[in-house]
Amino acid sequence: MTTITANTKADYAAFLLRVTMGIFFLIHAGLKIFVFTPAGTAGFFASLGVPGFLAYPVMLLEVVGGLALVLGYYGRWLAIPLALDLLGAIVLVHGPAGFFFTNPKGGWEYLALWIVGLVAVYLLGDGAFALKREHRK
């Protein structure tokens, strides 16, 4: 027997955070795909000393993860791999530029905040309007 319960303010907050994080990832992946191009992104990865082919699973993670977050379909479970993706960007690209994102080559403040938002999505659950909602335990 399934029990239907009313959404709480926390459920709506989780929904807002989940969808925002997802849209940001779709835009972020779109930049890699449509502006830098997949080949250009792979070249950038290689310039960092990371095997260029890893750009392709990263772009796939960002698209699939972004969609999962927007739709609320296992989004909370993809929030952690997406946070690790951003942690990699901090370590490999933005960390040496310092904290502030306005620094030349962009600092890591924006990415750190984004990571915290993703961890919050994981902890809160998918929230209201999720296609596959798991209740917090």
DSSP lists the bridge partners of residue 73 as 132
pLDDT of residue 4: 59
**Which residues, in sequence order, are CB contacts of 19 under 8 Å at separation 6+?**
69, 70
pTM of the full structure: 0.90
Give the whole-angstrom CA distance, residue 80 versus residue 120: 10
Give the whole-angstrom CA distance, residue 112 versus residue 91: 11
Q: Answer yes or no: is pLDDT of 3 > 70.
A: no
pLDDT of residue 136: 54
pLDDT of residue 135: 57
Secondary structure of 22-60 as H, E, C letters: HHHHHHHHHHHHHHCCHHHHHHHHHHCCCCHHHHHHHHH
Contact predicate 66/23, CB 8 Å: yes
* pLDDT tens profile 83-122: 999 999 999 999 999 999 899 888 999 999 999 999 999 9
DSSP lists the bridge partners of residue 92 as none
pLDDT of residue 106: 87
pLDDT of residue 6: 75
E-assigned strand segments in the chain: none
pLDDT of residue 2: 53
Q: In the numeric block, which tokens belong to residue 106? A: 């962009």
* pLDDT tens profile 6-60: 789 999 999 999 999 999 999 999 999 999 999 999 999 999 999 999 999 999 9
Confidence of residue 132 (pLDDT cuts 50, 70, 90): confident
Give the domain ranges of the chain: 9-124
